[in-house]
Amino acid sequence: MNALEDLARLLKKLPGMGEKSALRLSYHLIKTEPSFNKALGEKIATLQDRIHPCPVCGSYTEDDICRFCSSDDRDRSQLCIVEQAQDVVSISQAGIYNGLFHVLGGAINPLNGIGPAQLSFKTLLKRIDEGSFKEIIIATNPTEEGDTTALYIKQILRDREGLTVSRLASGLPIGGDLGYVDKTTLARSLRGRIKL
Amino acid sequence: MNALEDLARLLKKLPGMGEKSALRLSYHLIKTEPSFNKALGEKIATLQDRIHPCPVCGSYTEDDICRFCSSDDRDRSQLCIVEQAQDVVSISQAGIYNGLFHVLGGAINPLNGIGPAQLSFKTLLKRIDEGSFKEIIIATNPTEEGDTTALYIKQILRDREGLTVSRLASGLPIGGDLGYVDKTTLARSLRGRIKL
């Protein structure tokens, strides 16, 4: 086995990478500028030495505390709860949310052995107790597990006074076509219809 | 910009990798076993230090001469001409060819400034002159450029006596469905129909 096949064997383990595409990528890399490969390789090899979860919110950072939690410019009355750290990036890029984040580390999924104890609910409640939040925005995925998790959060927060709990709207994706939208999404967009 | 976005920025330059998939892959890597990332990163970074084109046929190798050219078990009367080094792997994996290979390094494409001089025809003719080949199998792609290149090879070899020149058959892919095959492929499979 030579270095190319060796590389393809590792690349094949990445998500969405089949045997053919792994080999094609290896052959692409061998024709690439060597300095690019050196940079990419070094970044992959050292990624976990440089990045770790923020001890406050759970999103990834190179610093002691992440840029959201340590920022003075963010609205500390809003907390957005997401399943995964990458969701923080997506919501942050949407450009209209300026509050803080909390990463659960997944969604409640009893069949896979993930209950509330496996997710970061303890630190979530501690943050809410010690913080000055007025609104909790649940941004779990619109899936069965995300729905269960959203309901669970709503329930554990039901006795907190002065705390609004909301969830991201589900409905038609912008630019979508009614004819191609699945019926569950359509049902949700009907149930959540907005008065004009 | 942190290490994750930094990595995503580089990954985005790989073929078939969009902004979202580059970010998703970065987040996948941060949850991966660190030893895997170290191995993958090192292989990417050192790929071109370990691999170089075989001076005889042009396929990639870690040795002075590639395993095909240096093998005693291969049929030295057959030479298969391919466009790219990865085509050597594909044909070799098909499992029925046991001859030698020659990598052109591309196909004739005047619009992109690639003429015969930019491809390895000089070493090809030298190999044919000095070797003991009886059959040349042209395995360029079934594209306009591949067709042009095949015709060109046929022409420069037309005066060699005792040399059979053939080309890979084009036609219906195995397991394919007539209804989904494009008309050019269908036309080729009709023109190249085989008597039973």
Q: Sheet containing B164-167: which strands, arranged edge to edge? A: B99-103, B75-82, B135-138, B164-167
The pLDDT value recorded for residue A192 is: 78
Tell whether the model's pLDDT for residue B1 goes beyond 70.
no
A134: confidence class by pLDDT, cuts 50, 70, 90: very high
DSSP string, A37-73: HHHHHHHHHHHHHH-EE-TTT--EESSSS-TTTT-SS
Question: Are the C-beta atoms of residues A51 and A62 closer than 8 Å to each other?
Answer: yes
Question: Are the C-beta atoms of residues A114 and A142 closer than 8 Å to each other?
Answer: no
Show which of residues 2-61 on chain A sit within 8 Å of chain B, judged by CB atoms: 2-4, 6-7, 10-11, 13-16, 21, 23-30, 34, 36-48, 50-51, 60-61
Q: How far is B6 from chain A (nearest CA, A)?
A: 8
Residue type for position B20: K
Tell whether the model's pLDDT for residue A195 goes beyond 80.
no
Q: Do B60 and A6 touch (CB under 8 A)?
A: no
Tell whether the model's pLDDT for residue B56 goes beyond 70.
yes
Of B37, B39, B48, the CB nearest to A48: B37
Strand, helix or coil for residue B56: coil
The pairing of beta strand B135-138 with beta strand B164-167:
parallel
CA B105 to chain centre: 8
Q: Quote ipTM for the complex.
A: 0.75
Q: Do B40 and A6 touch (CB under 8 A)?
A: no
pLDDT in tens, B114-160: 999 999 999 999 999 999 999 999 999 988 999 999 999 999 999 88
A1: confidence class by pLDDT, cuts 50, 70, 90: low
Rounded CA separation B188/B194 (Å):
12
Check residue B162 and give left, alpha or beta (phi > 0: left; psi -120 to 50: alpha).
left
The one-character DSSP state at B109 is B
Question: Are the C-beta atoms of residues A167 and A137 closer than 8 Å to each other?
Answer: yes
Beta bridge partners of A165: A136
- Which of the residues A1, A4, A70 would you substitute to probe the B interface, choosing the one with the greatest number of B C-beta atoms within 10 Å? A4
What is the average per-residue pLDDT within A88-116? 93
Q: Is the pTM of this model over 0.80?
A: no
Q: How far is B15 from chain A (nearest CA, A)?
A: 7
Q: At a CB cut-off of 8 Å and minimum separation 6, what does B100 contact?
A: B57, B68, B69, B74, B75, B76, B78, B79, B80, B131, B133
Q: How far is A149 from chain B (nearest CA, A)?
A: 22
